[in-house]
Structure 1
Amino acid sequence: MAPSKKPSPASSGRDQEKRTAAMRAIFESAGFADVEPPLLQPAEVFLDRSGEDIRRRLYVFNDPGGRELCLRPDLTIPTCRLYLEGKGSGEARYCYSGAAFRYQPQDSGRANEFIQTGAEFFGGKDADAADAEMLALAANAVKAGGLSTFDIRLGDLALFDALVDALDIPTGWRSRLKRHFWRPAYFKELIGRLATDTRPPRSDEREGLIAALGALDERNALSVIEDVLSLAKIAPVGGRSVAEIAERFLERAADQSAAPLSKETAGLIDSFMSLSSKPKDAAKRIRDLTKAAGIKIERPIAALEHRFELIEKQGVDLSRATFETGFGRTLEYYTGFVFELRVGDNAVAGGGRYDDLLESLGAKASIPAVGCAITLERLMAAIAAPKGRAAK
């Protein structure tokens, strides 16, 4: 038997273009206007909003005028900026396809440049319907790109936020738990630290500052710390800004002055974060867990049930879906429903709701938004993988 011929770069490129065009056509047929966000972006936009996973992989540089720029690491934030520069309010549907850039270790087997095809829906008044539509569009797009079978991973950050708000814990701890939800290893370490009765010994000069900060409100304390660090000419360390270093001081001050989390509260959070089930069973399991703890978060649970109904009405098969209360993806800006389409360990597509992002980028008020993005290279790897084997 003659050996099979490998496709030429030209034919491979044409195949990728064909698949990309087929996926983008799904979004365009649903009323999404095709846009081309600029390749160069202000670095601070991503450093402040994307999360540690992207921050440490940015390609950052200064232009001749001294501005700090980066190559876009994804297309969601650049598309948000296009919306604000153009329409700026009301409903808008944009789709795109283009290169994104993230540093990858040389032994990872992944390219530093990859292609994203996706869509963003701004200003939708019915959030649950928009969430369901976006998941359905992502599923239909990957099918149009040639992937017929995949698993769906679902989550909802609004459930965790509601749980934390219902707990009898210091206000500062609530914001910390929400802020670090998307970092599983650090989150677990944080819970352990907040639940311990022991306090670190005050063995150096920093502890005097930490003790003094406990008497100030958060805004004044943050200002004092930033001034001290700036006067001492302390430069950012390990990618952390002066503001982030100051925030760590505030956290330590709060830890010193507050009582530890009770074992019951820590156990409830751990049980909640560990919950995983089929979508049809998720609401009941969450209700049972919170009812046993004397906590009621009915509104986001009811919204979850309603969203699942709408998703199925959109034609999405949830028999291959799993809902996880501890799933939040790795981007800081998500605020609610999140999802990934996966083949084994390979996340081919993902997306979710980010209602606070546009306001942080300059909008005069919060603008509801939800989107998705498909990584072409991962899609191609999943299609090429032998049946029963996960593409890496």
Structure 2
Amino acid sequence: MSTDHEGADRAGLAAITGTDTDALPGHLRRLDEAALLAMARALGREGLFRPGVAHRWDQIADRLGVAPRHRWIPRRWLAVLAEEGLLRRDAATGNVRDLRAVRRAEVAATAPAVHAACRGLGYPEAIADFFLTAADQLPGLLRDEVTAQSLLFRDDDPSAAEGAYRDNTINRYLNAAAGELLRRTPAPAARPARVLELGAGIGGTTTALLAALADRPVEYLFTDVSPYFLDAARRRFGDRLRYGHLDINAELAEPRIPPGAADVVVAANVLHNALHIGATLTRVRRLLAPGGLLLVIESCREHYQAMTSMQFLMSPPDGAPRPGTGDIRAGTDRIFLTAAEWRAVLAEAGYRPLFDLPDPDHPLTALGQRLLVARAPGARPQSRTFAQTQE
């Protein structure tokens, strides 16, 4: 085990001191169970699933009026409910039947368990309220009459989003570990370290990384595809950062980010949005200086609670492509890769995977989110810089 591995793990664990980590898997399972009931309740409406009647998934989606861009979501629900024993699925035809009947009162009765589980996982009350509201609004979410954004940023309050990406046990661990790795990265000679963050969003990881770099000169480029997040970041971080619009699914070799300009690239909870993860990783590698560091934070398992809430944010606009030919998820409704798949795609894209955290035998691993650390090939030069940008 490397000293960087040990140091990052220690820093992550120090950030969650006092947490009963042994209880974390149980809290997560209670959220899963509540979400399964919400899925079954939403799918069992409109007189579907009478005894002995089988349905194709598209018939169910048609009956429920599911918006075209969201149709992959109930299709994934059906697979999960079959795996969990809440309905039967014919292996030959894929048709489903005998969905467990769930009344609205049964879903509502999960509220105390959801609040307790969120507290145990370190989430603020706002995220529990978001989960429960999303579960109650599933018919409207499926029909695209209600958006997940409107529920997550209710009254323009970012508390729920911050709870999802920063203010919880696993993200405190991962962000602190990433910050420690950045602190340990050797400073380039005679210039500031150059850090590029992709899809920085609400800036949850940014905050931890800036704290780790407080005593070092740094040239930090905060990028996102959303003007909303860029404007919010300018208000929050001011002139300490540079800002730029960047779409990970577009060509990344822009004038402000010359090839080899970044010493470190950070991608926290964004690369799963890539239409082709391997191609995106290859483009990102070209932005890294030889020997540069890539820090990836990603979910490496499906969370049922997210499948009834956050995953509505991941549906593409009408007509936009899903991951296609050549992507590891092609032909499936999967969003997330396993840790082993991440290591494989990183290696295929020309990186040297170093390690990932938390360690496999730690209870934090059950939560599914991981920090994956990889290095670009070659020796580190001392040359290019980010172009000035302020969009």
Give the TM-score category using the shorter length. Answer: under 0.3
The higher-RCO structure (CA 8 Å, 6+ apart) is: 1
What TM-score do the two structures reach when normalised by structure 2? 0.27
Larger Rg: 1
**Normalised by the size of structure 1, how large is the TM-score?**
0.26
